């Protein structure tokens, strides 16, 4: 008898446990669509309602459309059947997850107004998790990203927190006056996800966003032992444009330059300022057309793969290939970077009794330029002119031989121009 009771109990329990999987939720679909329409302030359509036990008990709304597929489409909305949602049934709900959602730009910007609590709705949202969420623009998608939409106690949006790179970078967006948003980006131990992976120990960007773009009023970064500050503006109303200026102080030159060249580089501490502009039809290609110009000075360092002193020791023509080094007190100059070339102009290297001046162009990994040098050792003065060639991996210095006049040579005051150097913005 007891055995039959046990079997009946187990069967009943199994039927009850399985019931949510077979329950005809479609009979409630109209009511759920009505509640979702009220919450989102737009017409909602749900493809299917189901229930899952794994990985956690949850109701699932599949193929959800808000207004139209062009406005907002969500592949899956998961509503967990947790203690909080059960105890606050009909009053508050949290930890909803939206998976593979796509919103139009206008819909995303208007979310703070759409999700504002309305009189008579009777339901407040506590937290929404976003998985693989994208925003549709006229010329492509931004995303997908993962994040969390958090709400205040009164049910209005507090902020949107987007994380990436396993939590090393996060973007916080908060509603401001009108259709504006406060924006703050923080990152630690983070690399730029672009052509040149500069690594930041710490990076903070603070600005304001609206329908046209983002004004980044404050940039602060710790990078390679130094400090970078500046400001920028990102516009997306007509294509994508990023422009601004940066100021750096006390950066370790060697690891910074190594990002751009693993062979030819310099040690020392660098101060620099730069203006930059990037422009493209799509944000994925924004950084492929750089327009950067600036000035730099490196102090107490060593220039690798450029031995400028040895050619002064011989009056015979010579060709010096990769190798060697030149120590200096200061190395300064102007730089212009475009997609076609890197131009180093008005270069000036000073190392006490040794000095060099010159201009160098790097295009398609090939180097060209001229350098004039002078070495004063006691009463003897030697000078020469070097033609720079080869590649970044294997630079060459060609000398016609050192010149040693009987009297002291005039000081170097002018830079030799190797070729006409077009402006970076014109390429």
**How far apart are the C-alpha atoms of 169 and 188, rounded to whole Å?**
7
| Strand locations in 165-317 (E) | 169-175, 181-191, 199-209, 213-223, 226-235, 240-252, 269-280, 290-304
* Among the listed residues 305, 332, 329, 327, the one whose alpha carbon sits nearest the alpha carbon of residue 397: 305
Question: What is the per-residue pLDDT for 81?
Answer: 79
Q: Is residue 16 a contact partner of residue 37, using CB atoms and an 8 Å limit?
A: no
Task: Please give the C-alpha separations between residue 43 and each of 74, 108, 403, in angstroms, as whole numbers.
Answer: 14, 16, 85
Question: What is the per-residue pLDDT for 407?
Answer: 46
Q: Positive or negative CA dihedral for 32, 34, 35, 37?
A: positive
**How far apart are the C-alpha atoms of 77 and 200, rounded to whole Å?**
36
* 3-class DSSP state of 408: coil
Q: Is residue 335 a contact partner of residue 342, using CB atoms and an 8 Å limit?
A: yes
Pairing of strands 124-125, 92-93: parallel
* Among the listed residues 391, 399, 308, the one whose alpha carbon sits nearest the alpha carbon of residue 347: 308
* Distance from chain centroid for Cα 267: 26
Q: Positive or negative CA dihedral for 214, 219, 221, 224?
A: positive
The two structure tokens encoding residue 381: 């003065």
Question: What is the per-residue pLDDT for 228?
Answer: 95
The residue whose two tokens read 């990152």 is: 187
Cis? peptide before 120, omega within 30° of 0: no
Backbone φ and ψ of 15, nearest 5°: -65, -40
**How far apart are the C-alpha atoms of 331 and 247, rounded to whole Å?**
18
Question: What is the per-residue pLDDT for 24?
Answer: 46
Q: Is residue 74 a contact partner of residue 100, using CB atoms and an 8 Å limit?
A: yes
* Distance from chain centroid for Cα 423: 26
- Extract long-range pairs of 54-62: CB within 8 Å, 24+ residues apart: 56/80, 56/81, 56/82, 57/20, 57/81, 59/25, 61/32, 61/36
pLDDT in tens, 17-47: 444 444 445 556 777 777 778 777 788 888 8
The structure's pTM equals: 0.71
* Distance from chain centroid for Cα 230: 15
Question: What is the per-residue pLDDT for 11?
Answer: 39
How many alpha carbons lie under 13 Å from residue 14 in its C-beta half-sphere? 6
In the chain, which stretches have pLDDT less than 70?
Answer: 1-28, 54, 90, 117-122, 138-140, 165, 193-195, 261-264, 322-323, 401-427
Q: Is residue 196 a contact partner of residue 259, using CB atoms and an 8 Å limit?
A: yes
């Amino acid at each position: 008898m007891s055995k039959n009771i046990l079997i009946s109990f187990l069967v009943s329990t199994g039927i009850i446990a399985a019931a949510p999987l077979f329950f005809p939720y479609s009979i409630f679909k109209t009511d759920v669509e009505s509640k979702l329409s009220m919450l989102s302030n737009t017409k909602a359509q749900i493809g299917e309602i189901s229930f899952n036990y794994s990985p956690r008990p949850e109701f699932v709304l599949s193929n959800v459309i808000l207004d139209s597929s062009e406005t907002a489409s969500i592949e899956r909305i998961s509503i967990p059947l947790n203690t909080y949602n059960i105890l606050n049934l009909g009053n508050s709900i949290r930890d909803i997850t939206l998976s593979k959602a796509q919103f139009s730009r206008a819909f995303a910007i208007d979310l703070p107004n759409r999700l504002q609590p309305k009189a008579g709705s009777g339901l407040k949202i506590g937290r929404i998790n976003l998985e693989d969420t994208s925003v549709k623009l006229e010329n492509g998608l931004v995303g997908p990203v993962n994040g969390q939409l958090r709400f205040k106690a009164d049910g209005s949006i507090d902020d949107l927190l987007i994380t990436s790179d396993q939590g090393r970078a996060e973007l916080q967006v908060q509603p401001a006056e009108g259709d504006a948003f406060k924006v703050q980006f923080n990152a630690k131990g983070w690399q730029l996800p672009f052509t040149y992976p500069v690594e930041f120990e710490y990076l903070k960007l603070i600005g304001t966003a609206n329908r046209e773009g983002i004004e980044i009023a404050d940039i602060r970064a710790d990078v390679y032992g130094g400090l970078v500050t500046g400001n920028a503006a990102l516009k997306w109303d007509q294509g994508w444009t990023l422009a601004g200026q940066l100021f750096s102080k006390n950066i370790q030159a060697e690891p910074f330059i190594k990002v751009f060249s693993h062979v030819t580089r310099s040690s020392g501490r660098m101060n620099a300022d730069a203006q930059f502009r990037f422009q493209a039809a799509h944000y994925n290609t924004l950084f492929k057309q750089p327009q950067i110009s600036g000035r730099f000075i490196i102090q107490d360092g060593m220039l690798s793969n450029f031995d400028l002193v040895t050619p002064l020791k011989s009056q015979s023509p010579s060709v010096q290939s990769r190798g060697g080094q030149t120590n200096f007190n200061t190395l300064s100059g102007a730089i212009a970077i475009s997609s076609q070339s890197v131009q180093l102009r008005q270069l000036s290297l000073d190392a006490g009794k040794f000095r060099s001046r010159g201009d160098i162009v790097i295009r398609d990994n090939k180097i060209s330029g001229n350098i004039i040098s002078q070495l004063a050792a006691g009463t003897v003065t030697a000078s020469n002119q070097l033609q720079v060639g080869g590649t970044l991996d294997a630079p060459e210095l060609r000398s016609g031989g050192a010149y040693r006049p009987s009297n002291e040579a005039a000081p170097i005051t002018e830079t030799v121009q190797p070729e006409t150097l077009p402006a970076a913005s014109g390429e």
